[in-house]
Chains A and B, each alone.
Chain A
Amino acid sequence: MELDLFVRYGPALLHGFGITILCWIAGSLGGMALGFLIACIYQWSGRWIRGLLQAYIEIVRGTPFMIQLFILYYGGPHFGLLLSPVEAGIAGFVVYGSPYFAEIFRAGFASTPKGQFEAARCMGFSEWTIVRRIVLPQMLVSITAPLTNFVIILTKETAILSVVTVPELLYETQTMAAETFTYVEPFLVLSLFYWAMVEFTSWLGRRVELRVTRHLRRA
């Protein structure tokens, strides 16, 4: 084992880890926001727009993330979209995650009884107030588990960003491996590291879930 390698390349690896975290958080938040927007538009629009949104959801879910990244990063300049690798990575996450998040939010909307919408409208609540004060608090309980689940999936997808030269953790590890001709140790350590990261986020997810459902157990 050549562990002094990790000391020498420590700063680069740490920087890569920072980029991984940045892309993950920015991508998850952006994807969640876009997904929520899509679910809202879906909820309050007619057949045609619903059909369009459904098509968007099906197409993004039916194609590999890598191809989506290539279209954004390499194909983007064709229609004037010049992105740096990190920007493309985050944008890719937002696009890739949005349909999955939209489906989760849509299920949340569907789980709210129709009568509550009608009652709130009768009482003169605006649509936005209905969402914010009535629907969101209730659906938070049922959607936290799938939401955290998908955020955990996104942690792993960050590795794919290395393919479009985003200098994240895998990319820095590959650079280190290529420069020092050592492959086995770095990739074993990297696997363990990702494993720990995913286990940590899923532990965090369980904590969040316990927190938002605490009123249900307090009977």
Chain B
Amino acid sequence: MDFSFSTITHNLPYLLAAARWTLIISFAGMLVGLGLGILVCAARLSRHRWLSSFAALYVSFFRGVPLLVQLLAFFYILPYAGIDLPATVAAFLSIGMCSAAYNAEILRGSLQAIPAGQKEAADALGIAPFALWRRILVPQALRIGLPSHVNELILLVKVSSLASVVGIGELTRVAQNITGQTYRPLEIYLAAACVYFVINAILAYAGRMAERRLNVGGA
């Protein structure tokens, strides 16, 4: 067995350039997932029974189907429905839709930690439901749920590797391409694994810093 470090050093710039797309897809996916997640969570807690059962169905479906199947289905159904989107956009939309289900559940848990008195006080002060959510509930819930949301983001970085299957040139895909040229799968995939690991380690560290800053869980 011969381990070729020069293959790694030679191709590392390409891997790092591709890691940018990994970051773009996972962060955009997280943004979509958070935004949509807040809506799904609000619907889930709604008094209208149709709305809340639709949200429950949404969460159950998107958490129950493998993301790879969701991605493939999304990519096949979009053109069928006559919608033409750039592949990257379709990828992070699909990842975001799945992530929304998880984020909605995290939010639902965080909302329970907010004292009910705040909602009553807001009602007594005549604050509209939308303002109640935007100015009072969501900011607090995001803070309380920060560790779980960071976890979700780290998951999305790993999950973005699935986008390689639908042909998006992110880290995994580029690693596959380089392997096709160099016939050195071990070196290249180990290097790609290191890049993923470093990204996730940085995110986990940043998450811990943010937790300390926002004093999550502390008094």
User: For residue A157, which residue of chain B has the nearest CB?
Assistant: B66
B22 to chain A, nearest CB (A): 9
User: For residue B160, which residue of chain A has the nearest CB?
Assistant: A64
Residues 149-195 of A at the B interface (beta carbon under 8 Å): 156-160, 162-163, 170, 174, 177, 183-184, 187-188, 190-191, 194-195
Evaluate whether A163 and B193 lie within 8 angstroms (CB atoms) in the complex, with A187-B69, A187-B76 already known: no
**B193 close to A191 (CB less than 8 A):** no
**Contact of A118 with B by CB under 8 A:** no
**B193 close to A63 (CB less than 8 A):** yes
Contact residues in A for B70 (Cβ distance below 8 Å): 191
Contact residues in A for B219 (Cβ distance below 8 Å): none
Contact residues in B for A68 (Cβ distance below 8 Å): 193
Residues 51-104 of A at the B interface (beta carbon under 8 Å): 58-59, 62-68, 70-71, 74-75, 78-80
**Contact of B56 with A by CB under 8 A:** no
A179 to chain B, nearest CB (A): 15
**B64 close to A195 (CB less than 8 A):** yes
**Contact of A210 with B by CB under 8 A:** no
**CB-based A-B contact count at 8 angstroms:** 114
Bin chain B's interface residue count: 35 or more
A75 to chain B, nearest CB (A): 3
**Contact of B39 with A by CB under 8 A:** no
Evaluate whether A71 and B193 lie within 8 angstroms (CB atoms) in the complex, with A66-B164, A194-B66 already known: yes
Residues 161-198 of B at the A interface (beta carbon under 8 Å): 161-162, 164-165, 172, 175-176, 179, 185-186, 189-190, 192-193, 196-197
Can you give 17 contacting A-B residue pairs, CB < 8 Å?
A: A63-B197, A63-B200, A66-B172, A67-B172, A67-B189, A70-B175, A70-B176, A78-B186, A156-B66, A160-B162, A170-B69, A184-B80, A187-B72, A190-B69, A190-B73, A198-B64, A198-B65
Please name 5 further chain A to chain B contacts, defined as beta carbons within 8 Å, in addition to the given A63-B196, A66-B172, A177-B76, sorted by A numbering: A59-B193, A64-B159, A71-B193, A184-B80, A187-B76
